[in-house]
Amino acid sequence: MRFAILGSGAVGGYFGAKLSRAGQDVTFIARGAHLEAIRAKGLEVRSAKLGDFTVRAQAESDTGKVGPVDVAIVSVKAYDNLTALPMLAPLMGPETVVLTLQNGVDSVDEVAAVVGPPRVLGGTTYVATALEGPGLIVQTGVHRSIIFGEVSGDTSRISPRVQAIADVLATADIQVTPVADARVPIWDKFVYLVAFSGFTGAARAPIGQVWKVPLAQDMFYACSREVAAIARAEGVTISPNRFDTLKEYMDNIPPTTRSSLLIDLEQGKRIEVEALQGAAIRRATKHGLPTPIIATLYSVLKPWASGPKQEVRRPGEK
């Protein structure tokens, strides 16, 4: 299959590199120093537990130079959608599908507005990777999963096109789970991620520091229940054992684990607060649902949505 990776950073770059190493035709869409590094020396993946490797593949900043592909994977940060998603148009052929792996629950609709709902597949991923430098992705741990499926039309069964893509992903040593209705895993992750990103970001600390406070644990699960209530109002049934699996995960998560939102905060970058806490607030407001914990997290994180602002001091202050 021919793939284009729109957003070749920590997540998209990693999965694109796995696909390229497995022999698939992959084009990385990137920019700046990262683009030049991929062109000059390839895209390097370092993984202490799974092994290091480097792939050489086409890399472009202009999708007009790529042409139609079979699958376009969208993994840019959600706050870049306004400028990034129009770049999908030149990648579209008669049978092209777009698989979005972005955080949050708005991505499917935003991608569909550009390419049309029938082309869109929804997905979510669990992987611990970071873009440590131009052309360099570092993976911690061994999780490398993609869960995806249809989001419109017949969502009662796994479609042939989903199964075909899943088969290809599996050959690239990706832990892939095709599903009939992608909205379930997307919201399952949202139940966790709104709380996890919110609490670690607001505390400016990895989850281990947060988890030392019993009240914080209680508020974390209460936050997740607020999100689950929004899912029900949206007509999405999350997995029936979601809170059991969430507790098991949180009981065993490495204490040094940081959310990508916290990492971006620490690096002075923009954060996905609008795609996470903001999206939850907007949907809850639409349904008249109270979300006191999410609203508090949103109010704390919102000032940092565009990255740090230069501090203003009075004359004479140091």
Domain range summary for the chain, segments of one domain joined by +: 2-180, 185-304
Stretch 119-140: mean pLDDT? 95
Stretch 119-130: mean pLDDT? 95
The pTM of this model reads 0.93
- Both structure tokens of 300: 């704390």
Q: Which CATH architecture has domain 185-304?
A: Orthogonal Bundle (1.10)
Contact 84, 65 (CB under 8 A): no
Burial of 101 per CB tally in 10 Å (0-12, 13-18, 19+): buried
Stretch 182-193: mean pLDDT? 97
pLDDT band for position 140 (cuts 50, 70, 90): confident
Least confident interval from 42-46, 239-243, 258-262, 272-276: 258-262
Stretch 18-42: mean pLDDT? 98
Contact 114, 89 (CB under 8 A): yes
d(C-alpha 129, C-alpha 13), whole Å: 10
d(C-alpha 126, C-alpha 173), whole Å: 14
Residue 267 CB: number of other CB atoms within 10 A? 9
d(C-alpha 109, C-alpha 238), whole Å: 19
Domain 2-180, CATH class in plain words = alpha beta
d(C-alpha 149, C-alpha 163), whole Å: 9
d(C-alpha 317, C-alpha 97), whole Å: 56
- Both structure tokens of 18: 């796995």
